[in-house]
Amino acid sequence: MNVAARPGLDRRAALRRLAGHAAMLYAGGPAVLRVPSGAGWGKSAHPTPRPGVTAARVLTAARLRELGAPDAVETFDQVRQIPQIVDGIRCRCGCADDPAHYSLLSCYEGDGMARLCEICTGQGRMAFRLTRAGRSLNEVRAAVDARYG
């Protein structure tokens, strides 16, 4: 291959594509990928998990496919397994400023905005990964704050 003939290749963009970022961008059709606005960042307190909270309102795989977001199914399934943990985490993407929003779990309910937001997705996946590794809610909160806060 003649390297000099292709000086403008954007390999950073290629890596982002291989990492799946472009796929997430378009997963929701014309909707725009949510990026952190900064509005919800900071050290605001994490919510207390609501007693008896369940994952009953977390979007199903079938609903996610209807919404054109099959790539999000795995993450929603992970969150579905740990509602009592995810309900104790304040989402750091900015959506927590919405009065109707209680916790990171809210991002996976209703219209399932987490399917369009890589920050919501990242926090949900991190919570699942660390919980499965035996970390406590407080340890998960600290890790989420370190990475996304």
Residue ranges in contact with other proteins by CB under 8 A: 1, 3, 6-7, 9, 11-12, 14-21, 23-24, 75, 118-119, 121-126, 129, 146-148
The least distance separating other proteins from the CB of residue 84, rounded to whole angstroms, comes to 19
Q: Quickly list H helices, 8-136.
A: 11-19, 21-26, 61-66, 73-81, 83-86, 118-132
Structure tokens at 76: 């929603």
Q: CB-wise, 11 or 51, nearer to other proteins? A: 11
User: Which CB sits closer to other proteins, 46 or 115?
Assistant: 115
CB of 102 to other proteins, least distance (A): 22
Structure tokens at 55: 């994952």
Of 41 and 50, nearer to other proteins (C-beta) is: 41
Q: How far is the CB of 104 from other proteins (least distance, A)?
A: 13
Tokens representing 18?
Answer: 């291989």
DSSP H or E run through 149: none
User: What are φ and ψ of residue 34, in 5° steps?
Assistant: -80, 135
* Complex with other proteins: residue 6 or 100, whichever CB lies closer: 6
Count Cα neighbours of 77 within 13 Å in the Cβ-side half-sphere: 7
In the complex, the smallest distance separating the C-beta of residue 17 from other proteins, rounded to whole angstroms, is 6
Longest dimension (CA), the chain: 63
